[in-house]
Structure 1
Amino acid sequence: LMAEGTPLQEVQRLCDVHSALFHGLTRAEKIANAEAAVRRSLAAGSPQAAPVMSRKEMAARLEDIEGHPLQTFTRENQALDQLMDTFRETRRASVLSEIRDLAVHYAKKGDLLYPLLKVNYGISGPSDVMWTVDDEIRDELAKLDKVPVQDRGTDWEIRVDAILQRAKEMIYKEQNILYPIAAQHFTEQDWQQIYQDSRQYPAIFGLPRLMWEAGESFTRPDAPVLSQGVIRISGGSLSLPELTAMLDTIPMELTFVDGHDINRYFNDGPDMKAFKRPLAALGREVYSCHPPKIEPMVRHIIQEFKNGTRDEVAVWVEKAGRPMYVRYMAVRSKTGDYLGTLEAVQDMTFAKEHFQHAQ
């Protein structure tokens, strides 16, 4: 419809109507049924005939793999569907609050599935249509759940039933449209990256996290660390000017001391620094930058970082009448090896003023 010029808003408005009217009758479902019939016919006439797998079958196969992201999405939908049935039967307020965890499910779709389909595979329908509906369902549920129990009258009941029906329709759309499309196009590496990124989201609906072995062993392909003026690291890539400007924009005074206790880096923000850091101090031992009475404490902290007995020390100090929050943090590799110490100094005057005004 969108390819033929139908306005996006109209497609969004008709999205729920479509799925409600045509369960089992969509073009994709008819094709899947027809393909299944063809395969049965081929199998009957020629046992050696290679099967042609529909995208719904591709999705079903992935849903059967323990811990696979598509299995997790499907299990969440099944649990959500059961919760909605329970609420319709009991009308318990606590169940409605549990249902609101669908916001996490929708966030994962929005972060991990929609953009990948749109950007990497040129399939914009799900992101353009479903994403808006996701937000509407999430926001309406939040509003209804916040209404005090004593104020939940007939109008509230009607609105709740309507939004839960929309959530049920979204389950249908995911299982019959979104997931099959993703199964058809995503590579194994795509799914492995989705599995890794999914760890940032909390488990919902009381479901345990299941491990997918292929996802556990996944690591992004190595790229040159320095290539054509770009620094490539695990979180992305930046040019040297971009990286420098980004570090200088962070509203903190940053100092990095390497694993041999040598000052290696100071950022250079636009404001006057509370703790002066002359560039001449770079390449020197960090202890030479502290007065004798402070040096033993600095040595003790860094030694604890090296020993692994401590990861952070935080102190509040006042400098020229301004509150400063100073944090010393052990910098470690992914395997836990000590690489150095990061000092971050933040002027907290803005927070003090905010809370004073709030009072």
Structure 2
Amino acid sequence: MNSFLPVVETLPNGHPVKVYYQESSLIQSLILELKEVNPADDFQKYYNVFNQLATIEKRFVRKENQLFPYLEKHGWEGPSQGMWSFHDNLRDQIKLLNNYNSEKNTQKIHENIPYLTLGIERLLTIEDMRLFPNAMDLITEEEWKDFYIGDAEIGWMLDEKPTPYPSVEKEAYIHPSEDNTKRDLSFSLENTFHYDEGYMTPEQVNLLLRFLPIDITYVDENDKVIFYNRGDDRVFSRSKGIIGREVRFCHPPKSVDMVLRIVDEFRAGTKDVAEFWFNFKGKIIHIRYFAIRDNDKNYKGVIEMSQDITDIQKIEGEKRLLDWD
């Protein structure tokens, strides 16, 4: 499972691949703990270890949104399809076990944990023997340097944040949620653009999009992702690796056909809106797709909007007064 480790150990601290292997070591130790603990005898210990292992979701999302786009750029699309499907299978197993955890059904937990651990071990082996060696051959040193900010936005399984790569002065990177710098905005028209109605600076437009309580992703007429708003509390994780990426590689394989059908219908002009709603991590998520057309009705792409409507669905009656006091 660690045949590529001797090469990885020669990499500088903070290198994305070295961080993946630090996570791999943690994952292997957690799997060993899961194999040794009996949920029926010590459910709390099992539950704590399982929850820590379930943070492997961060690793999946980093690979899907950070690593895979660069591999696609160099002509290797296999991981975006096959390995993403593997991720989804493991997600389904984690979801199933979470259901059994809520019921404390230790018999079902005992029966199903091996499927999860064996699946993760198989994934780590494929990563070690094929994914990361090929990634090191394909991705340039300059490209690896682009990973850190996007990786930080998604997060790691590790207790401590990895060393920035390349190394930077302390506090050089400030996450948007921690950036409290007050900036002066110019209201001079020479620094603004005229939109449908009114004038705004590019910075004001960026702030508007950032603070909208809705996730927005814009796919152009060539099926390439050209924009997403970087809010502090997104429904679904995104990173800059998806910019310029084909939309078919930005969704799990099991939903790609549906997404492509939406795009095709929008392009053909037969449909203009598609919407869905479902439960996701205890929240009700509403997703809408809108066809974008210019004044001449020419197709210009798709906007995907995602919103957590859990609290909105609970609204009843009326509220006409401010309740701050």
Q: TM-score, normalised by structure 1?
A: 0.46
Which ranges of 4 or more aligned residues in structure 1 deviate by more than 3 Å?
61-64, 148-151, 213-217, 257-267, 350-355
In the alignment, what sits opposite 1:136? 89
In the alignment, does 2:104 pair up with 1:157?
Answer: no
Instruction: List alignment gaps of at least 5 residues for structure 2.
Output: 39-45, 171-182, 202-210, 212-308, 319-325
SS state at 1:210 partner: coil
In the alignment, what sits opposite 2:138? 185
The offset of 1:122, in angstroms, is: 1.1
Residue identity matched to 1:99: L
In the alignment, does 2:216 pair up with 1:262?
Answer: no
Hey, what's the Cα distance between the residues in 2 that align with 1:181 and 1:87? 31
- Say which of 25, 29, 53 aligns to 1:78: 25
- Superposed, 1:229-248 pairs within 5 Å as none
- Say which of 54, 59, 63 aligns to 1:109: 63
In the alignment, does 2:49 pair up with 1:123?
Answer: no
The offset of 1:260, in angstroms, is: 4.8
Hey, what's the Cα distance between the residues in 1 that align with 2:75 and 2:33? 39
The offset of 1:356, in angstroms, is: 2.5
SS state at 2:154 partner: coil
Hey, what's the Cα distance between the residues in 2 that align with 1:215 and 1:194? 14
The offset of 1:143, in angstroms, is: 2.6
In the alignment, what sits opposite 1:170? 123
Q: Quick check: 1:67–1:209 contact (8 Å CA) kept in 2?
A: yes
The offset of 1:83, in angstroms, is: 0.9
Q: Which protein is richer in helix relative to its size?
A: 1
Deviations 1:311-347 (A, max 9, x none): xxx9xxxxxxxxxxxxxxxxxxxxxxxxxxxxxxxxx
Q: Quick check: 1:100–1:142 contact (8 Å CA) kept in 2?
A: no
The offset of 1:80, in angstroms, is: 1.0
- Say which of 289, 303, 315 aligns to 1:356: 315
SS state at 2:51 partner: helix
SS state at 2:162 partner: coil
Hey, what's the Cα distance between the residues in 1 that align with 2:149 and 2:120? 27
Deviations 1:280-321 (A, max 9, x none): xx99xxxxxxxxxxxxxxxxxxxxxxxxxxxxxx9xxxxxxx
Q: Rate the CA distance shift 1:130–1:64 in 2: closer, same or farther, 3 A.
A: same
- Say which of 81, 100, 108 aligns to 2:54: 100
Q: Aligned-pair RMSD on alpha carbons?
A: 3.7
* Rg comparison, structure with higher value: 1
Hey, what's the Cα distance between the residues in 2 that align with 1:203 and 1:83? 15
Q: Rate the CA distance shift 1:266–1:174 in 2: closer, same or farther, 3 A.
A: same
Q: Rate the CA distance shift 1:268–1:108 in 2: closer, same or farther, 3 A.
A: same
Residue identity matched to 1:168: E
Q: Quick check: 1:108–1:201 contact (8 Å CA) kept in 2?
A: yes
SS state at 1:79 partner: helix
Hey, what's the Cα distance between the residues in 2 that align with 1:259 and 1:67? 36
Q: Quick check: 1:87–1:95 contact (8 Å CA) kept in 2?
A: yes
The offset of 1:86, in angstroms, is: 0.9
Q: Quick check: 2:9–2:18 contact (8 Å CA) kept in 1?
A: yes
**Percent of paired sites with the same residue:** 17
In the alignment, what sits opposite 1:201? 154
The offset of 1:81, in angstroms, is: 0.9
Hey, what's the Cα distance between the residues in 1 that align with 2:78 and 2:117? 23
Instruction: List alignment gaps of at least 5 residues for structure 1.
Output: 1-22, 30-55, 218-256, 270-276, 284-313, 315-349
Residue identity matched to 2:83: M
Hey, what's the Cα distance between the residues in 1 that align with 2:52 and 2:317? 32
